[in-house]
Amino acid sequence: MKSRRPSRYHRRPRPKAPPAPVLEPGQTEFEFGIPIAGIIVSKEHWTQCALKQIPEPKPVDWTGVFGRQAPLVVDIGCGNGRFTLASAVARPELNHLAIDSLPAVIRYGTRRANQRGLNHVKFAVVDGWRFLTELCSEESIAEIHIYHPQPYADPVASSRRMLTPEFIGWMHRSLIPQGKIYLQTDRKAYWDYLCGNLPKLFDWNELEGDWPQGPEFRSRREILSRKQGLVIHRGYGIRREGISAEEFQQNIQAMEQPTFAIEPDES
Ligand SMILES: C[S@@+](CC[C@H](N)C(=O)[O-])C[C@H]1O[C@@H](n2cnc3c(N)ncnc32)[C@H](O)[C@@H]1O
């Protein structure tokens, strides 16, 4: 008979999130006591930031989706969108796309962007892999942000880790010359993996402390991790130029697959 004992990797179901507070125009919204960027606008100025249907043909014409030509910033695995909202409020001159494979979190982010009247932000339920391989063309993204990629500590699920050598290659392909990746995690094993592999295609910089530019708390997961006293690892990479097609393939092949072990409670 199969044991019913939960695996040590099995997470207890989280309590349901409380209903979203009703916010008045002019108000600032808080999460865990930390403000979420932007001011709530009156209902007649709310926008429609949900990208419910991915337009054809593919790869997508993102300039057409946003209705204007501007550098594209993409937040992959955006969760509730805290980073995208902060970046979009601070840098209105850039187009912002936030994607996540989980519809529930995209609903939170979309509602917040709508209520702030942002019209240069889109939220979509899209898998990161599908996005890079099918939906965006070569040299089309200015910045890729990934905060706290899902660690998949359970070895059975570890093959679902997003940042594989191939994914790193697709990020390089999708970025414009001098395009940048921004990464952050509280999982040391994931971080060591990234620091070992990203320099093959990016000029990679590990940061000592916090990001030089705000916001201080980039994401919901960062807030929770810091409350638990976990160490946050941060870094950014600039796309390396002048790599031949052959060298590109060799560099990808020289990278390890992300099969490292992560303890469920690893700090
Ligand atoms: C640990 S959460 C971090 C969320 C947010 N970036 C933060 O720091 O608060 C990881 C997020 O990545 C999403 N995710 C996992 N695999 C993904 C994939 N292949 N494509 C897109 N999103 C993914 C999950 O649904 C989840 O919302």
Residue 187 beta carbon below 6 angstroms from any ligand 1 atom: no
In the chain, the percentage of residues whose pLDDT exceeds 90 is 87
Boundaries of domain holding 215: 29-254
Nearest CA to ligand 1 atom 24: 77
Query: Is the pLDDT assigned to residue 20 strictly greater than 80?
Result: no
Q: How confident is the model at residue 158 (pLDDT cuts 50, 70, 90)?
A: very high
Residue 101 beta carbon below 6 angstroms from any ligand 1 atom: yes
Domain membership of residue 265 (yes or no) is no
Domain membership of residue 9 (yes or no) is no
Number of separate domains in the chain: 1
Nearest CA to ligand 1 atom 23: 77
CATH of the domain at 163: 3.40.50.150
Residue 102 beta carbon below 6 angstroms from any ligand 1 atom: yes
Domain membership of residue 148 (yes or no) is yes
- Listing DSSP states for the chain in one string gives ----PPPTTPPPPPPPPPPPPP--TTPPEEETTEEESS----GGG----B--SPPSSSS--HHHHHTS---EEEEET-TT-HHHHHHHHH-TTSEEEEEES-HHHHHHHHHHHHHTT-SSEEEEE--HHHIIIII--TT-EEEEEEES-----SGGGGGG-S--HHHHHHHHHHEEEEEEEEEEES-HHHHHHHHHHGGGTEEEEE-SSS-SSS-SS-SHHHHHHHHTTPPPEEEEEEEPP---HHHHHHHHHHSPPS-----TT--
Residue 190 C-alpha to ligand 1 middle, in angstroms? Answer: 14
Domain membership of residue 93 (yes or no) is yes
Atom of ligand 1 nearest to the CA of 127: 20
Domain membership of residue 97 (yes or no) is yes
Residue 219 beta carbon below 6 angstroms from any ligand 1 atom: yes
* 192-216 mean pLDDT: 95
Domain membership of residue 213 (yes or no) is yes
Domain membership of residue 12 (yes or no) is no
* 221-237 mean pLDDT: 97
Residue 162 beta carbon below 6 angstroms from any ligand 1 atom: yes
pLDDT value at residue 12: 61
Atom of ligand 1 nearest to the CA of 78: 6
Across the chain, mean pLDDT equals 93
Q: How far apart, in whole angstroms, are the C-alpha atoms of residue 50 and residue 45?
A: 15
140: left (phi over 0), alpha (psi -120 to 50) or beta: alpha
Domain membership of residue 112 (yes or no) is yes
